[in-house]
Amino acid sequence: MTETVYRLGPGCDVDDIVEGNIYMGKVQGFATFGTFVNLNDKTKGLLHKSNVKTERKERDNILVLVNQIRPNGNIDLREVELPEGSYETKLVAKKITLSRLDDLRSKIGRNVTIEADVVQIKQTSGPTIFTICDDSGVEDAAAFTEAGVRSYPEVNLGDIVRVFGEANKRNNQLQIEVSNMQVLRGEEADNVRARINKALEARAEPSDDVKPLIESEVINALWPEMRKLAKIIRRAVFTQQPIILRHHADADGICAAVSVETAVIQLIKDAGGDPDMDNFLFRRSPSKAPFYEIEDVTRDLDMMLKDNVRFGQKLPLILLMDNGSTEEDMPSYKMTDVYNLDVAVADHHHPDDTIDKYLIAHVNPYHVGGDFGVTAGMLGTEIARLINPSVESRILHFPAVAGIADRSEAPELQSYLKLIEANYTQEDCRSIGIALDYEQFWLRFNDGREIVKDILNLNNSPERHSKLVDLLVSESNAAIEDQMNTMMPHVTAQKLSSGANLFLADVEMLAHRFTFPPPGKSSGEVHDILCKKYVGEPVVTLGLGPDFAVIRSRGVLMNIPQMVRSMRDEMPGAGISGGGHLVVGSIKFVEGMRSEVIAKMIEKISEFPANTV
């Protein structure tokens, strides 16, 4: 039988030594009672003179058998002689007791070893901060070589590393003070990555206990896709992937986005995240258009790519709410595709399936036989509950606010109203929606996070909430009234061959401009007045600008996206584009073709069958 001789690897200590085993040592020095033998850099034993067999000098190799490890850690050795070639050598690797990041709190002041994925690398003026993610959580590991100098330059974003260091608390934040960090490669890295992935998969899965708030076939049918989207968002939070939430800048879009924002911020906090970092990891941006404009995607790309370089941040998940589902988003999706970005959508605009190849999830009521009556705010609130059920009571009124603001006629709206009847009347919800729309007009591209939270009564200050909403509603009403007094005398009427009443309202020359209400809203208000005046009759209202028109209709079987497409084909020199919902939308054209386009549009609208309502 071949003997085994062990060599104690670097980092090993007395805990890695087994009594009775033979080790390869090196003579370190002599004392009167015997010889000291190093088993590696930091572990040595004593060869008592009674156990010495041969004469040695310093730094000689020597084979020793471990007689005994004393309770105080002293190691007693005995020299053995084995002929060359009669034994094999084996390296003893340090026995690693891995810790998990969610366990650090109980290990303050102690050394830990963590295997994790590097999710962010930030160079400060002092240490280099590696944010690492394992199967249990995310924490920072601080490594210091010299002030402002990048430590472990061989470690890159996305590497699997083994970090050794002391668990510590700095400014009340847990962190590891790194004494060694090693990039794992090949199979070793694959195994760790697989372990982290498996745990993340399970952790990101939304709870089975969360069920839809209301009885709805549409919501039920959308539930699997909503769970999928919620899981994608939870996973982004757990892996420190930034989230950019783009949404239509109206009350419905705001309700959709703020419900998800509330759930995500709470989830970051629940997962032990740094609240000061919230802005960094989650950004909500309103978009003026109901689609992802080139201007928006360009701004987002610019910022995220700089952050990627400057802060070693991952590329974000882009989430589009109350927009994102139509052909008009295509140019932006081609951009996100170049950078291989994750894009997901929750929308209730009529979807074009050509965009689905760019999306990792797409929640849309049209996919399951529903329509725009199940609004983005309703979808967002259900998704937010799947992300983090603990925020439910704070956002429970959002679906009703969104539904009323977006003029939903779906039965779902009544169910959502019923949920909150003890706290909010239908009128309260309407007022909140009006206040959101009015305030967002002045906020322009800003998210106005805290103001919006006050309007939505998320700030635990009901008195300020109602004062603010009352003020904004009366300001909004006064501005609308002024606009209607100006516009209505100029509205012209005609009867179409289909029997529908068509009204033309000038939103440029005969209306206040660059103030509230903007042209789309002004046209809607004109339309509402006319619908009340012509009860039971089909009504189409065109709000006409210099190079655009806003279309509102009731009681006519319109298909605006289809109309825009056919006009574009028939009038190639008119520069036509646009779309929207089936019965509410807008169209753009070149100013010089204005009268031809309006004439063609009236011709097309006459072709849609009109009903009495």
Beta bridge partners of 87: 3
Smallest separation (angstroms) from Mn ion to the CB of 406: 5
Can you say whether the dihedral through the CA atoms of 9, 13, 16, 20 is positive or negative?
A: positive
Of the candidate spans 247-255, 270-278, 497-505, 532-540, the one that interacts with Mn ion by CB under 5 A turns out to be 247-255
Does 251 bind Mn ion (CB under 5 A)? Our answer is no
- Rounded Cα distance between 530 and 173, Å, is 61
Measured N-to-C along each axis, helices 411-419 and 398-405 cross at an angle, to the nearest 10 degrees, of: 140
Residue with Cβ nearer Mn ion (77 or 405): 405
- Closest contact distance (angstroms) between CB of 348 and Mn ion is 6
CB of residue 439 to Mn ion, shortest distance in Å: 17
H or E segment at 235?
helix 217-238
Q: Is the dihedral of CA 321, 322, 326, 331 positive or negative?
A: negative
CB of 401 to Mn ion, least distance (A): 12
Residue number, 134 or 406, with CB nearest to Mn ion: 406
Q: In terms of CB distance, is 325 or 553 closer to Mn ion?
A: 325
Instruction: State which H helix or E strand residue 443 sits in.
Output: helix 426-443
CA dist., res. 17 & res. 27, Å (int): 18
Q: How far apart are alpha carbons 54 and 270 in whole angstroms?
A: 65
Cα distance between residue 32 and residue 19, in whole Å: 25
Closer residue to Mn ion, CB minimum distance, 376 or 610: 376
Nearest CA-CA partner of 398 in 373, 416, 425: 416
Strands (E), 124-238: 128-133, 138-143, 160-170, 173-183
Q: How far is the CB of 289 from Mn ion (least distance, A)?
A: 13
> What is d(CA 459, CA 82) in angstroms, rounded to the nearest whole number?
78
Asked whether position 506 contacts Mn ion by CB under 5 A, the answer is no
Q: Is 556 in the site for Mn ion (CB under 5 A)?
A: no
Which span sits near Mn ion by CB under 5 A: 20-28, 117-125, 179-187, 373-381? 373-381
Q: Is 451 in the site for Mn ion (CB under 5 A)?
A: no
Residue range at the interface with Mn ion (CB under 5 A); choices 406-414, 430-438, 500-508, 548-556: 406-414
User: Closest CB to Mn ion among 267 and 405?
Assistant: 405
- CB under 5 A: which stretch of 127-135, 250-258, 422-430, 500-508 binds Mn ion? 250-258
Could you give the CA distance from residue 199 to residue 195 in angstroms, rounded to a whole number? 6
Q: Is 322 in the site for Mn ion (CB under 5 A)?
A: yes
The CA distance from 127 to 373, in Å, is 53
Q: Is residue 252 a contact residue for Mn ion (CB under 5 A)?
A: yes
Number of chain residues interacting with Mn ion (CB under 5 A): 4
Which of these ranges, 321-329, 502-510, 558-566, 601-609, lies near Mn ion under the rule CB under 5 A? 321-329
Residue at 282: amino acid letter? F
Among 117, 406, 428, 447, binds Mn ion (CB under 5 A): 406
Backbone angles phi, psi at 496, to 5 degrees: -85, 160
Residue 417 C-beta: closest distance to Mn ion, Å: 17
Could you say whether residue 412 binds Mn ion (CB under 5 A)? no
Nearer to Mn ion (CB atom), residue 196 or residue 376 = 376
Question: Minimum distance between the CB of residue 581 and Mn ion, rounded to whole angstroms?
Answer: 9
φ, ψ for residue 128, nearest 5 deg = -90, 130
Name the minimum Å distance from CB 329 to Mn ion.
15
Q: Closest Cα to residue 431, out of 396, 392, 391, 475? A: 475
Residue with the CB atom nearest Mn ion in the bound state: 252
Q: Whole-number minimum distance, CB 130 to Mn ion, in Å?
A: 42
Find tokens 């140019």 and name the residue.
331
Give the residues across from 8 on adjacent strands. Answer: 92
Nearer to Mn ion, 296 or 406 (CB): 406
Site string for Mn ion, 375-404 (x = CB under 5 A): -x----------------------------
Q: Give me the residues that bind Mn ion (CB under 5 A), please.
A: 252, 322, 376, 406
